[in-house]
């Protein structure tokens, strides 16, 4: 049913308090933004305290009476209400946001690690928390292919950022009580406009930003036309104007001289591709995590910002090796499963994140970390190197199998098993005194000679 040429008499405001009449109305819609409605009207005297009846949970609808039915043209919540009393008349001004604003209130931190998860599934997962939904015309089954980290940002900011990786803008359905979000420019309907009056503008900032970061783009793709019309079109509709096909990218609806007039910004659809957005808070951030799996020089993590993380769907992160060369030499020492580590974001792009270091959580109680002049390097298998100011100890089994070199006492070799010294050539030792003790016997032998010391000395040769 046509909604062209509506007047303020065809409009009603459905809310807890009744307006005596509407004096001004303006509805603004644009890509990547919540829709906004401005309503000004006259209150009945008995509703002068209406400000207390309108809360962030109040759903207000703007309805239009058509030929045979009533239709909602805007559904939203009040974000600002002002009431003025002038000469005994109560004037109310309300600013409403589309219900998509519910996604833009609470900042959250969490990760979506599964690189094989489709974008559409990720976005639907978020909207389900609000009993909402998405209309996806952009992702076309594409997979994440990375881990997305939502960090101190609202769901609206995060959805907008995720969609930008498919070059898609987002915008809300404005007539729904639950949040419904369009991902990308919907197919829309086709119309033709012949209004000879227009305003033309060129957004050079968008053009330069896109070409510098995403490749070539024709300059005319960032030229847009503003036209006025009584025709009621929606974002994404295709409008042929001056024999050129355009897409509705922005819409402003307001009452002028008692009639609902629409103002549209028309732009080539190729010029509506969204540059990739980043969360600047990520740059330089470290997030604590626990190692779930280790393979070669990569780890899977359960990040502290997540309640749980399935190992099979966790993302592989590279580990920052202390030292390595372009060849095969260097330092290779990976964290163990269960170790607490830090995931570091050197830039605002979470695709460049890597595991920076292992965190020690027992510093207050572990006796080996009380003296900063003593350095330890050890494994979970009791293999350890101790570097003290006057001592170097290499240990295979703690207090049982070790080599200790001390500046003052010399070298001590201790083993709870046999000690074998083998050389294909000479073994030369020089000393002032040599002491050899054995509980059983001492045997020195060659192929033809031997000395055996037990209760007596046996010499053969």
Domain end: 121, 154, 183, which one?
183
Element (DSSP H or E) covering residue 162: helix 155-164
Task: Tell me the pLDDT tens digit for each residue of 295-338.
Answer: 999 999 999 999 999 999 999 999 987 666 665 666 778 888 99
For residues 1-30, give the mean pLDDT. 86
What integer pLDDT is reported at residue 167 of this predicted model? 93
Q: Are residues 296 and 354 located together in one domain of the fold?
A: yes
Residue 455 lies in a domain: no
Question: Which domain CATH number covers 95?
Answer: 2.40.10.10
SS3 state at 176: coil
Domain end: 100, 127, 157, which one?
100
Residue 461 lies in a domain: no
In this prediction, residue 17 has a pLDDT band, given cuts at 50, 70 and 90, of confident
Q: Are residues 307 and 380 located together in one domain of the fold?
A: no
Domain end: 100, 119, 140, which one?
100
Q: How far apart are CA 313 and CA 300, in angstroms?
A: 9
Cβ neighbourhood burial of 370 (10 Å; 0-12, 13-18, 19+): exposed
Q: Are residues 336 and 382 located together in one domain of the fold?
A: no
Asked if 250 contacts 35 with a C-beta cutoff of 8 angstroms, the reply is no
Q: Are residues 210 and 266 located together in one domain of the fold?
A: yes
Question: Which domain CATH number covers 121?
Answer: 3.55.50
When the pLDDT of each residue in the chain is averaged and rounded to a whole number, the result is: 89
Q: 3-17, 44-58, 212-226, 269-283 — which is least confidently predicted?
A: 212-226
Asked if 110 contacts 305 with a C-beta cutoff of 8 angstroms, the reply is yes
Reference 401, options 418, 423, 422; nearest CA is 418
What integer pLDDT is reported at residue 280 of this predicted model? 97
Task: Tell me the pLDDT tens digit for each residue of 256-308.
Answer: 988 999 999 999 998 898 989 999 999 999 999 999 999 999 999 999 999 99
Q: Are residues 66 and 25 located together in one domain of the fold?
A: yes
Reference 339, options 310, 371, 379; nearest CA is 379
Task: Tell me the pLDDT tens digit for each residue of 66-76.
Answer: 888 899 999 99
- The pTM of the full predicted model, rounded to 2 decimals, is 0.84
Element (DSSP H or E) covering residue 192: strand 190-193
Residue 74 lies in a domain: yes
Range of the domain at 384: 367-414
**75 DSSP β-pair partners:** 61
Q: Are residues 345 and 371 located together in one domain of the fold?
A: no
Residue 89 lies in a domain: yes
Output the six-digit token pair for 305.
């910002």
Q: 79-88, 141-150, 371-380 — which is least confidently predicted?
A: 371-380
Question: Which domain CATH number covers 198?
Answer: 2.40.30
Give the DSSP letter string of 103-149.
GGSSEEEEEE--TTSBHHHHHHHHHHTTT-EEEESS-TT-B--S-EE
Residue 241 lies in a domain: yes
Q: How far apart are CA 200 and CA 404, in angstroms?
A: 83
For residues 206-217, give the mean pLDDT. 64
Task: Tell me the pLDDT tens digit for each residue of 18-55.
Answer: 888 999 999 999 999 999 999 999 998 887 788 888 88
Q: How far is C-alpha 212 from the chain's CA centre? A: 24
Q: 94-108, 161-175, 227-241, 350-364 — which is least confidently predicted?
A: 350-364
Residue 431 lies in a domain: no
Query: What does the buried/exposed string (b/e) look like for 5-18 if buried means 16 or more CB atoms within 10 Å of the residue's CB?
Result: ebebeebbbebebe
Q: Are residues 95 and 26 located together in one domain of the fold?
A: yes
SS3 state at 127: helix
What integer pLDDT is reported at residue 213 of this predicted model? 63
Reference 71, options 19, 7, 12; nearest CA is 12
| Counted domains in the chain | 5
Reference 98, options 118, 122, 78, 124; nearest CA is 78
Element (DSSP H or E) covering residue 119: helix 119-128
Residue 260, number of CB atoms within 10 A of its CB:
22
Residue 422 lies in a domain: no
Q: How far apart are CA 63 and CA 71, in angstroms?
A: 5
Q: How far apart are CA 142 and CA 118, in angstroms?
A: 6
Residue 348 lies in a domain: yes
Question: Which domain CATH number covers 311?
Answer: 2.40.50.230
What integer pLDDT is reported at residue 12 of this predicted model? 93
Per DSSP, 5 falls in state: T
Q: Are residues 353 and 392 located together in one domain of the fold?
A: no
What integer pLDDT is reported at residue 329 of this predicted model? 62
């Amino acid at each position: 049913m046509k909604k062209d040429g509506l007047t303020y008499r065809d409009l009603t405001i459905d809310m807890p308090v009744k307006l005596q009449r509407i004096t001004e109305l303006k509805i603004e819609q644009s890509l990547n933004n919540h829709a906004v409605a401005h309503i000004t009207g006259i209150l009945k005297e008995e509703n002068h305290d209406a400000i207390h009846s309108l809360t962030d949970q109040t759903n207000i609808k703007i309805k239009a009476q058509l030929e045979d039915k009533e239709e909602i043209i805007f559904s939203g919540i009040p974000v600002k209400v002002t009431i003025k009393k002038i000469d005994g008349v109560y004037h109310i001004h309300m600013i409403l946001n589309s219900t998509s604003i519910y996604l833009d209130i609470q900042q959250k931190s969490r990760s979506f690690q599964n690189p094989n998860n489709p974008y559409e599934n990720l976005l639907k997962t978020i909207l389900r928390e609000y009993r909402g939904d998405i209309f996806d015309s952009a992702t076309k089954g594409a997979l994440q292919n990375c881990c997305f980290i939502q960090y101190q940002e609202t769901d609206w900011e995060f959805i907008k950022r995720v969609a930008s990786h498919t070059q898609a803008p987002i915008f809300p359905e404005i007539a729904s009580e639950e949040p419904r979000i369009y991902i990308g420019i919907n197919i829309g309907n086709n119309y033709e406009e012949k209004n000879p009056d227009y305003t033309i503008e060129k957004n050079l900032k968008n053009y330069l930003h896109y070409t510098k970061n995403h490749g070539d783009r024709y300059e005319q793709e960032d030229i847009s036309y503003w036209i006025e019309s009584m025709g009621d079109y929606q974002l994404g509709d295709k409008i042929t104007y001056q024999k050129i096909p355009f897409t509705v990218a922005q819409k402003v609806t307001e009452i002028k001289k008692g009639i609902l007039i629409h103002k549209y910004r028309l732009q080539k659809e190729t010029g509506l591709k969204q540059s990739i957005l980043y969360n600047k808070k990520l740059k330089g951030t470290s997030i604590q995590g626990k190692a779930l799996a280790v393979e070669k020089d990569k780890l899977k993590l359960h990040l502290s910002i997540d309640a749980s993380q399935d190992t099979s769907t966790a993302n592989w992160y590279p580990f920052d090796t202390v030292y390595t060369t372009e060849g095969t030499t260097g330092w290779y020492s990976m964290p163990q499963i269960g170790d607490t580590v830090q995931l570091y974001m050197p830039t605002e792009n979470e695709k460049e994140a890597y595991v920076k270091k292992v965190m020690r959580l027992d510093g207050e109680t572990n006796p080996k970390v009380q003296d900063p002049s003593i350095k330890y390097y050890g494994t979970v298998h009791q293999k350890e190197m101790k570097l003290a100011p006057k001592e170097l100890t290499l240990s295979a089994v703690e207090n049982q199998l070790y080599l200790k070199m001390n500046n003052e006492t010399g070298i001590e070799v201790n083993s709870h098993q046999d000690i074998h010294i083998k050389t294909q050539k000479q073994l030369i030792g020089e000393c002032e005194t040599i002491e050899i003790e054995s509980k059983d016997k001492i045997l020195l032998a060659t192929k033809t000679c031997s000395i055996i010391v037990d209760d007596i000395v046996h010499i053969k040769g």
